[in-house]
Amino acid sequence: MGIAKVNGISLSYDISGSGEPLLLIGGFGMTKEFWSTLVHLLSSRFQVIAYDNRGAGGSTVSPAPYTIGDMAGDAIGLIEALHMDSTHVFGVSMGGMIAQMLCANHPDRIGKAILGCTSPGGTNAVSPGTRVTAAFGQAANPDLSPEEAARLIMPYMFSENFIRNETERVEAFIRLSVDHCMTPDGAAGQMHALTGFDAESLPEEIRSPVLVVTGSDDLLIPPENSRMLARRIPQASLEIIEGAGHNFFFEKPQEVARLVIEYLLERSQLSGEVNKFFR
């Protein structure tokens, strides 16, 4: 684990593997530990950097409120602190919003980008249903324990099939959520950034090649948001992970790793290696 000093705060990060750099940008409350399975699969091909956004994990809980711009600035600061000329990025949920801003504002530092289960924000975004927003409102009740809050929102983080058939992995996710839960200040700061994001014309300004990915059963950020981004970003393509919920990368890590590897590297040169790797 390393610590980088950027923008007056400390960012906690891990680096695994070798090859072209790939920066993983987590969503609300995510820490680098949530990426562990995917890091294992990707680090055979890339130098994978996973880090904690400000307000979470081992990074500084700076005074609220934060903006997506603040956190995009942190990501650029980390890229510079690690002496990388450029990097691919894979951001999920709130991390996908951060990645959009990186692509639009720092095109010289970003290679290819993957935007997972995210949205353009603002009035253009397709919102979840009232049942989802009510559950997350209840989970924010300070009288609940971290485990009670995590269990309350599980039906909206994963597909019904995953929750029904993968109980051990659901419990592992709950343990991660409890062990790495945010402080109230960190949660307030990140929530302000998440709810205040409005890309406006940002997607049209992105010139990096972009892969937009979402789970077909995402209840938290409905798939129409990904379809919208793919239509608006000039060099974008869209992949739907069938049967997966919001945390598609946790539900189907091998399928996602294959997709990431094939997208970031030349498909024509990869077919044999990828098939061998996932056999």
CATH number where 101 lies:
3.40.50.1820
Structural domain harbouring 101: 2-128+183-278
> What are the pLDDT digits (tens) for 169-188?
999 999 999 999 999 999 99
pTM for this one?
0.93
Task: Give the position of tokens 């990074």.
Answer: 59
Query: In this model, does residue 267 exceed pLDDT 80?
Result: no
pLDDT, residue 136, reads 93
In a domain, 166, yes or no: no
Amino acid found at 279:
R
Counting the structural domains of the chain, the total is 1
In a domain, 143, yes or no: no
The answer to whether 118 touches 124, Cβ cutoff 8 Å, is no
In a domain, 159, yes or no: no
167 burial class (0-12, 13-18, 19+ CB within 10 angstroms)?
Answer: exposed
Query: In this model, does residue 272 exceed pLDDT 60?
Result: no
Query: In this model, does residue 240 exceed pLDDT 50?
Result: yes
Q: CA 56, CA 41: separation in Å to the nearest integer?
A: 24
Query: In this model, does residue 159 exceed pLDDT 60?
Result: yes
